[in-house]
Chain A
């Protein structure tokens, strides 16, 4: 189809090392899929002090990438810097929609853009389709009891924040064009300086991007118990997660907390060790593809929604599972 009804734009995120964030490969794939449905084109903006590597990778997902080299993106809180540069570019384009990730940085970008461009935001999409000239967004509400579908009112276009792991990243099959743009003009919004950066335990993949999660709860008993959880995660090629109880007890960092006040994840496999499955945790993982629980209590709430529950001591079952996996 000819002249696009505008362009579906992605504002991408990068990791600390400058590589493209996994969530952005998913959002870019989504933009391309929606663009095909809309008869529009898909493009992406990446703003970083050195965006070259990320831009090159983005170009494998969408036809056009605008790479903005912005020195202030380093050493300052990134999201508002990126949003301003993105807004400047989008001001001279005809966006049909803007997509961002729904993680902490993505939503900060979305919120900032919402004001700069005076656009509505549809948040936390678990699925996006293109209907009647705009995005039709599914969102899980009420602790997972209901899925709502929302769209924008006629004639409006806006921003959609997209949850990690709801779209499988897929390359376009051809490489798009990268435009390198030097940032110009002052940044109007106040800059927030980063005065220190502290590394704690080596971060693996951010947990919301993991395909497989092995999580430990109160039943793990202590930080040493999490060694088994890590071993199982390694054997399955996944990441380690935890309940709030484990985090509050100091056994594992907050970055890995899953649940109402932690992260909401949608892995293909969620293996829950010593986790009761109470609602505050359930809302964080109940849409996982396969849910397996190991628990001493056969009446634990997790038995109501897991695919498989093994009743037993999580350490004994865990060790046996490690052995079983080695054999296969």
Chain B
């Protein structure tokens, strides 16, 4: 039986470009550096593509982002996803997690799916709470920190391997379910060039807040309940001492430093 999978993705400033900065309002300046798919979303996207290759079905990308987010959706389509949905609205700039959760939940309510996959966290927000919040809002079974995802479409259940401090647990729940993944799901593929060319004919739908029947006063930047009150640079660490010489000299230097800092 084919699987219908929705993958939540978010464009983030490219961490490799190291050009992220905050704007004057204390919010991330998304125009300051090129955007890429959030690194952790690539693992869940890869997992979803492998699953539909094995079981049949389709992968839909869902993203809440500025209009430029359409480019990162295209990359996901080039990797093999079948269609994309971009929720974009000027009122959403500066949204906090609560807004994000409401918007994505509203978008998901319009879709039919067996699985919703979310990345472990985002490199620009690093929160990791959105998955649980959405699952709760939609009353979906919630399985997190997945290292392996094994759906049984005929039984309409899914099993997930969740890393634990002592090894791993195997969780099971009925579908539809929401799963948060980890890097252990496997290395993402490069978009093939054929995939890139094919992406241009795949469907990308944009939705505004009005399309989702959400009120811009209740959701979005204006409704944000948190604010950045200040920024500082972390304290400089101080000069690095470099020791060359015999291993014994190196060992002594280390032990002396640890002793001076009461670590041994």
Q: Contacts of A1 on B, CB cut-off 8 Å?
A: none
Q: Which residue of A is nearest B137, CB measured?
A: A115
Q: How far is the CA of A222 from the CA of B232 in the complex (A)?
A: 40
B233 to chain A, nearest CB (A): 7
Interface size on A, residues (CB 8 A): 98
Interface residues on B, range: 35 or more
Q: Does B68 have its Cβ within 8 Å of any Cβ on chain A?
A: no
Residue of B227, B233, B250 near A147 (CB, 8 A) is B233
Q: Does A144 have its Cβ within 8 Å of any Cβ on chain B?
A: yes
Please tell me which stretch of B49-57, B83-91, B168-176, B195-203 contacts chain A, meaning at least 4 of its Cβ atoms lie within 8 angstroms of it: B168-176
B127 to chain A, nearest CB (A): 4
Q: Does B15 have its Cβ within 8 Å of any Cβ on chain A?
A: yes
Q: Contacts of B232 on A, CB cut-off 8 Å?
A: 146-147, 149
Q: Which residue of B is nearest A116, CB measured?
A: B136
Q: Contacts of B205 on A, CB cut-off 8 Å?
A: none
A108 with B132: CB separation less than 8 A: yes
A290 with B261: CB separation less than 8 A: yes
Q: Does B65 have its Cβ within 8 Å of any Cβ on chain A?
A: no
B216 to chain A, nearest CB (A): 17
Q: Does B155 have its Cβ within 8 Å of any Cβ on chain A?
A: no
Q: Contacts of B234 on A, CB cut-off 8 Å?
A: 140, 144-147, 287
Q: Contacts of A197 on B, CB cut-off 8 Å?
A: 164, 166-170
A8 to chain B, nearest CB (A): 18
Q: Which residue of B is nearest A140, CB measured?
A: B234
Interface residues of B (CB under 8 A from A): 15-16, 18, 20-22, 26, 39-40, 96-98, 101, 120, 123-137, 139-145, 147, 159, 162-174, 182-184, 224-234, 237-238, 240-248, 250-255, 257-259, 261, 263-264
Q: How far is the CA of A289 from the CA of B253 in the complex (A)?
A: 17
Q: Which residue of B is nearest A158, CB measured?
A: B225
Q: How far is the CA of A139 from the CA of B168 in the complex (A)?
A: 30
For the complex of A and B, list the 6 residue pairs with the smallest distance between their C-beta atoms, beginning with the closest: A111-B132, A310-B250, A111-B129, A320-B251, A123-B127, A200-B167
B130 with A111: CB separation less than 8 A: yes
Q: Which residue of A is nearest B171, CB measured?
A: A192
Q: Does A323 have its Cβ within 8 Å of any Cβ on chain B?
A: yes
Q: How far is the CA of A63 from the CA of B248 in the complex (A)?
A: 51
B187 to chain A, nearest CB (A): 9
Q: How far is the CA of A321 from the CA of B18 in the complex (A)?
A: 36
Knowing A149-B228, A321-B255, the reply to whether A161 touches B20 (Cβ < 8 A) is no
Q: Does A150 have its Cβ within 8 Å of any Cβ on chain B?
A: yes
B135 to chain A, nearest CB (A): 8
B147 with A115: CB separation less than 8 A: no
Q: Contacts of B255 on A, CB cut-off 8 Å?
A: 321, 324-325, 328
Residue in A123, A152, A328 whose Cβ sees the most chain B Cβ within 10 Å: A123
Q: Does A49 have its Cβ within 8 Å of any Cβ on chain B?
A: no
Knowing A111-B130, A112-B132, the reply to whether A206 touches B170 (Cβ < 8 A) is no
B21 to chain A, nearest CB (A): 8
Q: How far is the CA of A64 from the CA of B226 in the complex (A)?
A: 29
Q: Does A298 have its Cβ within 8 Å of any Cβ on chain B?
A: yes
Q: Does A228 have its Cβ within 8 Å of any Cβ on chain B?
A: no
Q: Contacts of A107 on B, CB cut-off 8 Å?
A: 127-129, 132
Q: Which residue of B is nearest A269, CB measured?
A: B263
Knowing A161-B129, A320-B250, the reply to whether A120 touches B226 (Cβ < 8 A) is yes
Knowing A123-B127, A194-B169, A317-B247, the reply to whether A311 touches B136 (Cβ < 8 A) is no
Residue of B173, B237, B246, B247 near A307 (CB, 8 A) is B237
Q: Contacts of B230 on A, CB cut-off 8 Å?
A: 148-149
A114 with B247: CB separation less than 8 A: no
Q: Contacts of A150 on B, CB cut-off 8 Å?
A: 226-229
